[in-house]
Every structure is written in structure tokens, then in C-alpha cells.
Amino acid sequence: MCAVSSQPDKPNLIAIVGPTAVGKTAAAIRLAREVGGEVVSADSRYLYRGMDIGTAKPTESEMAGVPHHLIDVVGPGQDFSLALYQRHAYAAIDDILRRGRVPILAGGTPLYVNAVLQGWRVPEVPPDPAYRASMEEVARREGVEALHARLAAVDPAAAARIASANVRRVIRALEIFAATGRRMTDLEGRQAPPYRTLVAGLALPREEIYAAIDRRVAEQIASGLIEEVRRLLDGGVPPDAPAMTAIGYGEVVAYLHGQVTLADAAERIRYHTHRYARHQLTWLRRMTGVHWFDPREAEWYERLRELVREFLAGNETDRGTSP
């Protein structure tokens, strides 16, 4: 994927990527205010209503009047597939463009970002709760390796790229085969989206990302994360709902159920968020053509703004920098 497509007749799309806690949302909002843009979220956790503190969702004041899309789309008890996200994201981008505004895709959920920027063909097979429950029972009864072996028998290519520990993705691949009789890998592919795209990335050293994560976790707990999770549970959201598997929520559920102390829950949130940031960094290193910026450097934002203005003026930029 290159930073700027070579077809100037396509409408413009800006993307801001980076690991968690690096400042993507704030940069996107500031940029949107200056270039007449609107933000399209590429964060899987922002989709859910009532999940604000644990997701570090921007507040109304932080949004500064900038329209945001794909935030608070569904209730936390509902599922939201990658195919559904992609469809909604393209619809939001096209709507922004029709109104003469600039779409800015911002987020760090790798599957969501790639699905939009790389034009993934995602099998549109709706979730089958009964089938998923039966496969989860197989995983509990026979073990995750046995479940993975079932996938290897029907879709070896999918099994080769999905780790056995990733039970949700293993079950999804099996679910697609059960519903269609076709392998997930046969249904997937790519089709370049109809946008001229500029990709800007924000990067910090790993130790600084960890420190930012730790500060955020402390702020979330102080700001009412425990009360937020308690409200969700009291409101009828099952503790095993897909949204409640998000980092920060499952750990607090364990605390509220008396399984761990609050200190242990906070440490688990930090640990799991560090691990997720490492996953994001691995994904980001594989992206090519990204223009990287270090938020520690003086005037980094001014350089980003100038790059964006050149891009919107129709000028070609170079093919990116190293993170």
C-alpha cells in the first residue's frame, strides 16, 4: 500500500494510523478543523454505546465540533462484523465527499484500517450465535488445538494464518465454511477502493507508548471505569458479550465478580494493552508508503499539516518515511 495513489482523478482520503495512546484522535480532530474535514473512526471499540471511559473515546468537548462517524453505532450487547464496519466506513467516506468535506480515517484497529485502505473483500456471512456457542463448547471440551484442527481440515490456508489461540477468528472461519460451503480464503481478496489516499503515521518509542498507556489506565480508573462497567452489567449486558471482551472491560468484570483485586485488574489492563500495542507496532512496520511523524519533535504537526495541504492541492508526495 503506498501513501498516495497515482490516480489524481480519485477523491481524496486521509488516514492517520499509529499504536494506542499515541495521539491519533487528537491529531485527526485538529487536522479536520483546519482542512474542513470529518473523522471516520477505525477503532473497533468506539462502535459501542455506553463504553466511553474504557475505550478512551473522545468527549464532545474534545471533538471540538468536528463531526465523527462510526462512534456509538450499536449497543454493547450486539455484534459488529468486519464486513459491516467496512460497508459503513465506505458509506461515511462517500457521504463526506458528496458534501465537499475531507474524510479523515483515524484509528489503530489493524483489520479495520486494512479493510478500508486495501479494499478487502470480506465475506458477508452474518453471525450465527448457536453455531458459535457450539464451537466454543468444542474449544472448552476438547481444547483449542482440536478446534483449530477442524479448521485445518476444511480451510488449510486459513488455519495456517490464524493461531489456535485466536479462538474467535478460528470460529469465524469455521462459521463461514458452515454457512456457505466455501473456504473463507476463497471468498476473500482485494479490490482497490476508489480513493486517492494519503497515510500519515504517529510513532513513539515503545517505552514511551507503555508509559502513556499506564497513565491512561490510571486516569480511566480514577475517572469512573469501574462504575461504567458496573452500569453496563446492571443494564443487562452479558459479561461475555463481544464488546465486553475489549481490554479494560473483561478485567474489571473479573474484579466486580471478586475474582481479582482492583490492583490486579489494573495491572492486567496495563499488561494486555502493552501486548496489544506490540501487535499494532508489528502491523505498522509492515505498512509501506506511510509518512511517519514523531510527536516529540518540534513542529511535527506543522509538517503534517503542510503535507496534507500539498496532498489536497493535488500534488504528489514522496512515498513515505521510515518509522
Q: In the chain, what percentage of residues exceed pLDDT 70?
A: 95
Crossing angle for the helix pair 24-35 and 300-312, to the nearest 10 degrees: 50
Distance of CA 313 to the CA centre of its chain: 29
Residue with cell 518515511: 321
> DSSP 3-state assignment of 214?
helix
Q: Among 3.40.50.300, 3.90.25.10, 3.90.1150.10, 1.10.3720.10, name the CATH number for the domain at 12-122+190-312.
A: 3.40.50.300
Helix (H) or strand (E) holding 172: helix 167-180
DSSP class of residue 104? E
Instruction: State whether CATH 3.40.1390.20 applies to domain 129-187.
Output: no
**Domain parsing of the chain, residue ranges:** 12-122+190-312, 129-187
| Lowest mean pLDDT across 38-52, 66-80, 179-193, 216-230 | 179-193
Dihedral sign, CA of 40, 46, 49, 50? negative
Distances (CA, A) of 111 to 114, 115, 149, 169: 5, 6, 24, 12
pLDDT at 3: 43
- Over the stretch 131-189, which tens digit does the pLDDT of each residue have? 999 999 999 999 999 999 999 999 999 999 898 988 988 999 999 999 999 898 887 77
Closest to 196 (Cα-Cα) out of 85, 97, 303: 97
Cell numbers found for residue 257: 465478580
Residue 318 confidence class, pLDDT cut points 50, 70, 90: low
Report the pLDDT value the prediction gives residue 156, as an integer from 0 to 100: 93
Q: What would the pLDDT profile of 274-301 be if each residue is shown by its tens digit?
A: 999 999 999 988 888 899 999 999 999 9
